[in-house]
Amino acid sequence: MRKLRVGIIGLGRIGRMHARNIKSIIQADLAAISDISEEAVNSVAEELQINQKYYDYREMLNDPSIEAVVICSSTNTHAQIIKEAASAKKHIFCEKPIALTIEEVNDALNSINISGIKFFLGFNRRFDPTFSKMKEEIKSGKIGTPHLAIITSRDPAPPSLDYVKSSGGLFLDMTIHDFDMARFMLNDEPYEIYVSASSLVDPAIGKAGDVDTAAIVITMKSGARVIINNSRKAVYGYDQRVEIFGSEGMIMNQNMPKDFAFLSNPYETQLSNPVYFFIERYKEAYIHEIETFISCVMQDEIPPVGGEDGKISLLMGYAAQKSLTENRPVKFSEVI
C-alpha cells in the first residue's frame, strides 16, 4: 500500500499527540519531525523511532520526498510556515488558528490558492463522533428548524501566562472552536455578536489584557440565537456540552466521564467527573481528523474544513473582541 510521507512541525502538547496518531495510521508514514527545541525533537524521535529530525523546519520543507506537513507550532508561526510549505508544494494540515491577523490569514490563503495544495484546518470537534451524529440528526430534520444553540466550553485550568500572551486571547484561542461549532451545527453564518466578559479566574490574565470568563450571544443570519459560555477554569474537569433546540425538539450531548461507574445509595447519586482535558476528550476526533486529512490528499478530495472556515471564525473572534471593548453588539459585517 502507498503511504503518504508526512512531516510534523512543532512537538508540544498537540504536536506530540498528532505524531503518535499519524504513526498509528496505516496510510501514513511519519517520515520527519521538527521543532526549535532539541529536547522535544530528540524525545519524540526516540519514542517513535523517527530518523529524519530537524531543528529548522525549512530543511524539512526542502526534502522533496515529504508530501504533507502537519503544523503544530505556536500560533504566531503558522502563517509564515503555511506560506513556505505551500510554495514547497506540501499539502498542509494546520492547527487552529491560521494566524492572529486577517492580513496574515489572507496572505497564507493566497499562497495556498496559488500552489493548489490541500489545506485542512484542525477544528477537531467537527470529527467527534457525538457531535457528528448531532449534526446529522439536525440536518435530517429530527429537531425541526434550529432556534437556539447553547454551547458550554470550559477548560479545567488556565494555560501558562506565556501561552496566554502569544495565544491571541480567549476569543481567538479558545472560543474560536465554539464559533466554528455554531456554524457547523446550525449550517448558518453569523450576523451579530454581543459579549460580556472579564477575568474572574486569575487577575494575572486580566493584567495581561485578556479575559477568562465570557458570556457571548450570537444572532445568526437565520435568526437563530447562539449562547456560548466560556471559563478557563472548571474545577471538575473539561466541560464540553452542546445543546441545539429547534421547532420540533432538541438534541444535546453529555460530558465524557472518566469512567461509567454510576453510584446510587440513599444519600447520593454519583457519576465520575468529566475527563481532564482535550487530549482525552477528543481522542477519537483527533484520530478521525488526521485520517480524513490523509484520505483527502490520497484521494484528491476537498478537505471538509479549511481556510475559509478559519477566516470566518477568526473574524467572529474580532467581532467578539470589539463588542467587549465597545460594550455593544457588533455586526459581523463591521469586521469584514
Ligand X SMILES: NC(=O)c1ccc[n+]([C@@H]2O[C@H](COP(=O)([O-])OP(=O)(O)OC[C@H]3O[C@@H](n4cnc5c(N)ncnc54)[C@H](O)[C@@H]3O)[C@@H](O)[C@H]2O)c1
Among 42, 43, 52, 77, binds ligand X (CB under 6 A): 77
Quick one: cell of 104? 496574515
Please, what is the end-to-end C-alpha distance for the chain in angstroms?
45
Query: Biggest alpha carbon distance in the chain?
Result: 67
Query: Cβ 141 to ligand X, closest distance in Å?
Result: 30
Query: Cβ 181 to ligand X, closest distance in Å?
Result: 12
Does residue 171 interact with ligand X by CB under 6 A? no
Query: Cβ 221 to ligand X, closest distance in Å?
Result: 26
Quick one: cell of 114? 496559488
Query: Cβ 68 to ligand X, closest distance in Å?
Result: 16
The residues in 14-73 that bind ligand X, with binding defined as CB under 6 A, are: 14-15, 34-37, 40, 57, 72-73
Cβ contact 245:143 at 8 Å? yes
Does residue 108 interact with ligand X by CB under 6 A? no
Residue 120 pairs in a beta bridge with: 93
Preceding amide of 97 cis, omega within 30? yes
Q: Which is nearer to ligand X, 122 or 156 (CB)?
A: 122
Q: Which amino acid is at 303?
A: P
Does residue 247 interact with ligand X by CB under 6 A? no
Q: Which is nearer to ligand X, 15 or 146 (CB)?
A: 15
Question: Cα 229 to the chain's mean position, in Å?
Answer: 17
d(CA 111, CA 87): 7
Q: Which is nearer to ligand X, 209 or 249 (CB)?
A: 209
Query: Cβ 163 to ligand X, closest distance in Å?
Result: 6
Does residue 9 interact with ligand X by CB under 6 A? yes
Query: Cβ 2 to ligand X, closest distance in Å?
Result: 28
Q: Which is nearer to ligand X, 74 or 106 (CB)?
A: 74
Does residue 95 interact with ligand X by CB under 6 A? yes
Q: Which is nearer to ligand X, 146 or 240 (CB)?
A: 240
The residues in 172-201 that bind ligand X, with binding defined as CB under 6 A, are: 173
Among 11, 143, 296, 297, binds ligand X (CB under 6 A): 11
Q: What does the per-residue mask of binding to ligand X show for 259-278, with x meaning CB under 6 A?
A: -------------------x
Q: Which is nearer to ligand X, 192 or 239 (CB)?
A: 239
Residue 58 neighbours by CB distance under 10 Å: 13
Q: Which is nearer to ligand X, 67 or 95 (CB)?
A: 95
Where do contacts with ligand X occur on this chain (CB under 6 A)? Answer: 9-15, 34-37, 40, 57, 72-75, 77, 95-96, 122, 124, 173, 278
